């Protein structure tokens, strides 16, 4: 193989040869000829990053940029490149050994870190005495190219593809960074419906909501199993290109069996580590951690999903300050005190989408065969996605059952919750995690109102039943509404989701059984 440089150049040629050889190394053993024609005229700016199509070309272009800048020494590049802030203070962006390694193509086929590239481009332009505005413009061009190349290494691909993608862009250089990291769990292959909610998430600023123009935090709240996580994960996968610097996912475990909610300190540590910051660079104090996190994300376009959050205090320190970042938060509670957040309260899907969800989970053929029974099952599940999934899974596990047979079993309201279980997933377990977080007095009121015959409840009815005044009843109803144990049918009127009502009745029976057992034990003691 031989490489022709045409016309002969005094600069950069050897490196370009090296790059081409690397590019062609997959062709070892074959004889081939490749010609590179370089511009014989020295343009104002020697490289148009927009045209670069590989990491190799990218690094070659950095070399040419330095030559154009008068080939400043590595020591001078360090001074011109400036510094970045870490937990341990300021660090040079262009340490000579790093710069020399990158320019020699040592990190290929990986891209250099974006921070390095930004510092490098700025240093070259400073060496040529360019104005600040020009430097900024040029840095933006290189940053965009970097993102395009990083994205073209398939950063959005889940699971198996992700590792290679990370390898393709992870750091060459001294400072670790997670730029390009994708932590998202896999998207649901059979994700169904939620068109309006996805549009809301994608639309950003909307005409009737001026505040959303600057919004970088969107909160999705709703009852257990309504589909909050599924929605944000699906949306996040579709937003990968908008947030090419990274997509992070963190569960905060507000409602996980056997796990405590994650405190903001630990959450920040996890995020910073995921971002490639070494443990010994992570400060102890919450404020300092939060500041470091914001500094890491400054001027970046990163999407962070914070799943299953308990309250606003848990989230606030994790929010980036940069307007280019988006944070999607899910919670069973309305986070009314999270400023600057747009909120969407997720309801169960409309019947048509709920049926489609069930049909896809079960297999469309089987569902089409018994479409009337499918409608019954979905209605008996209260259109709740989690219940629908469990019903479909139950049918998958019992091939001999027809959909109509399952519907028949679900009609027995005393047994319905038991029917909605598959493997180790139980609907009651998901509902219990919400119920158990209520204060005992609120649990009592909730049980009481679930025993009422009316579907629609107001504070007056509850006050009569619970023997309290109307203001107190209203307060409890609003508190239950805030944690999505109740829904609001119209101002001042509330209703309970059918499956939650069944769960509360189960709790009543348990409480009665416990009281009876206690009374019996006491009677035994008195007799004895």
Take residue 322 and report the two structure tokens written for it: 């940069």
Smaller CB distance to ligand ADP: residue 111 or 359?
A: 359
Instruction: Give which of Mg ion, ligand ADP, none residue 162 binds (C-beta under 5 to 8 Å, depending on kind).
Output: none
How far out from the chain centre does Cα 416 lie? 33
Residues between 363 and 402 that touch ligand ADP (CB under 6 A): 385-386, 389
Take residue 438 and report the two structure tokens written for it: 């209520």
Backbone angles phi, psi at 348, to 5 degrees: -65, 150
Least Å distance, CB 496 to Mg ion, is 21
Instruction: Give which of ligand ADP, Mg ion, none residue 385 binds (C-beta under 5 to 8 Å, depending on kind).
Output: ligand ADP
Distance CA 309, CA 262 (A): 9
Smaller CB distance to ligand ADP: residue 97 or 256?
A: 256
Number of residues lying near ligand ADP (CB under 6 A)? 19
Q: What does the per-residue mask of binding to ligand ADP show for 158-197, with x meaning CB under 6 A?
A: ------------------------------x-xxxxx---
Distance CA 332, CA 30 (A): 62
- The residue count for the chain: 528
Smaller CB distance to ligand ADP: residue 301 or 389?
A: 389
Question: Is 227 among the residues that bind ligand ADP (CB under 6 A)?
Answer: yes
Distance CA 39, CA 410 (A): 75
Least Å distance, CB 225 to Mg ion, is 8
Query: Cα–Cα distances in Å, from 153 out to 147, 162, 274?
Result: 10, 9, 20
Strands 217-221 and 246-251: unpaired
How far out from the chain centre does Cα 44 lie? 43
Least Å distance, CB 222 to Mg ion, is 9
3-state secondary structure at position 176 = coil
Residues between 290 and 349 that touch ligand ADP (CB under 6 A): 330
Backbone angles phi, psi at 218, to 5 degrees: -125, 125
Question: Is 226 among the residues that bind ligand ADP (CB under 6 A)?
Answer: yes
Least Å distance, CB 332 to Mg ion, is 8
Smaller CB distance to ligand ADP: residue 145 or 247?
A: 247
Q: What is the CA radius of gyration of the chain?
A: 30
Question: Is 80 among the residues that bind ligand ADP (CB under 6 A)?
Answer: no
3-state secondary structure at position 451 = helix
Distance CA 371, CA 361 (A): 14
Smaller CB distance to ligand ADP: residue 248 or 381?
A: 381
Which of 62, 302, 357, 445 touches ligand ADP by CB under 6 A? Answer: 357
Question: Is 230 among the residues that bind ligand ADP (CB under 6 A)?
Answer: yes
Residues between 250 and 289 that touch ligand ADP (CB under 6 A): none
Residue with tokens 């590019």: 23
Compute how many other C-beta atoms are within 10 angstroms of the C-beta atom of residue 390: 23
Least Å distance, CB 160 to Mg ion, is 24
Least Å distance, CB 486 to ligand ADP, is 16
Which sign, positive or negative, has the C-alpha torsion 242, 243, 247, 250?
A: negative
Smaller CB distance to ligand ADP: residue 165 or 262?
A: 262
User: Which residues are at the interface with ligand ADP (CB under 6 A)?
Assistant: 188, 190-194, 222, 224-230, 330, 357, 385-386, 389
């Amino acid at each position: 193989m031989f490489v022709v440089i045409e016309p002969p150049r005094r600069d950069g040629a050897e490196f370009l040869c090296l790059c081409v050889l690397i590019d062609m190394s997959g062709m070892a053993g074959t004889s081939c000829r490749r010609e590179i024609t370089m511009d014989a005229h020295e343009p104002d700016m020697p490289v148009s990053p927009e045209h670069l199509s590989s990491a190799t070309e990218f690094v070659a272009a950095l070399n040419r940029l330095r030559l154009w800048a008068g080939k400043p020494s590595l020591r001078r590049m360090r001074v011109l490149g400036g510094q970045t802030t870490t937990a341990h203070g300021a660090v040079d962006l262009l340490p000579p050994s790093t710069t020399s390694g990158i320019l020699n193509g040592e990190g290929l086929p990986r891209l250099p870190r974006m921070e390095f590239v930004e510092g490098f481009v700025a240093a070259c332009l400073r060496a040529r005495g360019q104005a600040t505005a020009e430097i900024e413009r040029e840095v933006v061009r290189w940053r965009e190219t970097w993102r395009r190349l990083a994205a073209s290494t398939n950063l959005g691909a889940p699971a198996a593809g992700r590792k290679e993608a990370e390898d393709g862009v992870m750091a060459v250089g001294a400072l670790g960074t997670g730029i390009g990291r994708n932590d998202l769990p896999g998207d649901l292959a059979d994700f169904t419906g939620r068109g309006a909610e996805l549009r809301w998430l994608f639309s950003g600023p909307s005409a009737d909501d001026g505040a959303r123009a600057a919004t970088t935090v969107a909160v999705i709240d709703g009852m257990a199993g309504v589909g909050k996580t599924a929605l944000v994960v699906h949306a996040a996968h579709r937003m990968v290109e908008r947030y090419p610097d990274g997509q992070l996912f963190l569960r905060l475990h507000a409602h996980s069996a056997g796990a405590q909610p994650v405190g903001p300190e630990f959450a920040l540590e996890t995020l910073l580590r995921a971002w490639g910051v070494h443990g010994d660079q992570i400060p102890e104090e919450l404020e300092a951690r939060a500041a470091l996190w914001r500094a890491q994300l400054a001027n970046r376009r990163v999407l962070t999903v914070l799943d299953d959050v308990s309250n606003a205090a848990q989230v606030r320190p994790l929010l980036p300050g940069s307007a280019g970042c988006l944070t999607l938060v899910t919670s069973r509670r309305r986070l009314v005190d999270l400023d600057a957040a747009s909120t969407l309260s997720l309801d169960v899907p409309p019947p048509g989408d709920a049926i489609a969800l069930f049909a896809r989970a079960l297999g469309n053929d089987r569902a089409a065969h018994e479409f009337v029974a499918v409608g019954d099952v979905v209605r008996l599940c209260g259109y709740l996605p989690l219940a629908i999934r469990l019903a479909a899974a139950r049918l998958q596990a019992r091939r001999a059952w027809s959909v109509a047979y399952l519907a028949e079993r679900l009609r027995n309201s005393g047994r319905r919750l038991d029917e909605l279980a598959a493997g180790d997933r139980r609907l009651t377990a998901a509902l219990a995690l919400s119920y158990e977080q209520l204060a005992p007095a609120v649990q009592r009121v909730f049980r009481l109102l679930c025993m009422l015959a009316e579907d629609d409840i107001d504070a007056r009815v509850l006050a009569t039943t619970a023997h309290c005044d109307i203001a107190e009843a209203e307060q409890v109803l609003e508190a239950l509404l805030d944690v999505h144990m109740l829904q609001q049918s119209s101002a001042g009127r509330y209703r309970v989701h059918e499956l939650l009502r069944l769960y509360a009745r189960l709790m009543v029976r348990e409480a009665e059984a416990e009281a009876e057992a206690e009374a019996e034990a006491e009677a035994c003691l008195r007799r004895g």
